Chain A
């Protein structure tokens, strides 16, 4: 029996399917050697555009709740619409990108559907007809493999852990799903607004495939531009250690670590960061870690893959120039 998967579509700021949702499609299409039958779900005022995005990567069947109220309603409403789609499409796995949306979605949906739930998933595999998944725990200091018993699971996938699907356009087959009647209590909260958080001009910290972070080794806030210029040359997001955000050089939204944001990019460059455990747990799941620090005994070199021991004030500008040169940026 081939597996049936429902992928939840989350819109990005531009109204298209988010990178995290596309990665979930990528994961679904690969599961069981590509034998799974994959459908999508989209809701809100941009649902039709999301269905077109699903079709572009080979997902024809899309359950749609074109209900603008869901754009700014609490997630409970969205989850009730998904439950109707689940009743129709009868999946055994629901996949969602592990954004803040996806993580809040997972618990709510699994409780409603009586399913197993997990977030931060980095691998999903078939094992003798059962479903197994892996996820880092303890801030990346250990990994757990879990097996689903009883068939149903809602899994939120860790960003950047799964490949984007290839373009494979198909004709979209939308299935409209009405928004079910909701208990008024679930719709009582009201969104008053959204303020954009300053994370510089580059990609958002949680989404970036490359992150460049600066620490106390930069000595003063006026030197932080060295980190920002290197990040700009790499198309990377900018992060910071707690020392930097505590000192007020940059807002807390930049902070990578246990008390800040956990990131898992393809490449993490730590500039002038000594590597306190509270920082390490926020970045250790990065695929490749580079450390630049003048102190050869700094703990960051124990977790880094590549190290440059030397004066960051000389190395970082040279690195920015070299990156620009090889990338052909003037």
Chain B
């Protein structure tokens, strides 16, 4: 099975966020970009499938600027991906998710892809649009919020479950398929040191992103704000549990106005 897994360089969760001087974006200086949870789950799922279906290959693809995009691809190789393609966005990567999907689709179309795996959303912009947009652009069915995915060799189809408002939906689908995965339903492996060292010299194919579509609408960021630091909870003083309960209910009704 030919599996493509799309990954994105995302600021580490513990990164202290700063606004860039123009006020429209995150300041990328002093930010460490890594492979984050959703993408780790997608890579793990790709590797599990590769291990269960003989003759499979996993191709990691990422869109973005140097050097962070190459770095996350090396992390994917260290985890066990067989090959990697870097779509060079130039210094100002597209931020509209459908533009990103178009760049990915252009790179995926010419390579074999029985299955395209992604995190259900990126850990930074949290859009969750790319997987579904890719499905449309590749003319392949797509499913987001997938919690587990396996290949039923006898029936030549995937079996998977997807979280929805109704509960867990069970689906069956042949190839080709695009899947956006929930995080942490599998327990992603960590790379071993020899693999990390080897990944530093692994070849990464580089393609340049095509010019953005002229007829498509898109959005651009005009303001990026950090919330005023929360000043901390207003602590409610009380002598008895009853007093605590009465004071809290009163303040929720009269001050916060959230009480039914």
Contacts and interface: CB of A to CB of B under 8 A. Distances in A.
B26 A142 contact: yes
B129 A114 contact: no
Contacts of A47: none
B14 interface: yes
B208 to A, nearest CB: 22
Interface residues of A, number: 102
Interface stretch (B55-63, B68-76, B165-173, B190-198): B165-173
Contacts of B219: 116-118, 133, 146-149, 153
A192 B140 contact: no
A144 B258 contact: no
Nearest to B163: A100
B226 A304 contact: no
Contact of A189 (B143, B220, B259): B143
A101 B132 contact: no
Interface residues of B, number: 90
Contacts of A266: 258
Contact of A310 (B121, B234, B238, B256): B238
Interface string B114-144: 0000000101111111111111110111111
Interface string B232-260: 11111010111011101101110010111
8 contacts: A103-B145, A107-B128, A138-B124, A145-B223, A190-B171, A210-B260, A309-B235, A322-B242
Given A116-B96, A120-B126, A290-B248, 17 more contacts: A76-B136, A104-B132, A105-B132, A108-B142, A112-B136, A118-B219, A132-B222, A137-B126, A144-B221, A150-B217, A192-B159, A204-B165, A259-B184, A267-B252, A267-B259, A302-B232, A309-B235
Q: Which 8 A-B pairs have the closest CB atoms?
A: A107-B132, A150-B217, A307-B233, A189-B173, A318-B241, A107-B133, A322-B245, A111-B136
Interface of B: 11, 13-14, 17, 26, 37, 96-98, 101-102, 121, 123-137, 139-145, 159, 162-174, 176-177, 180, 183-185, 213, 215-227, 230, 232-236, 238, 240-242, 244-246, 248-249, 251-253, 256, 258-260
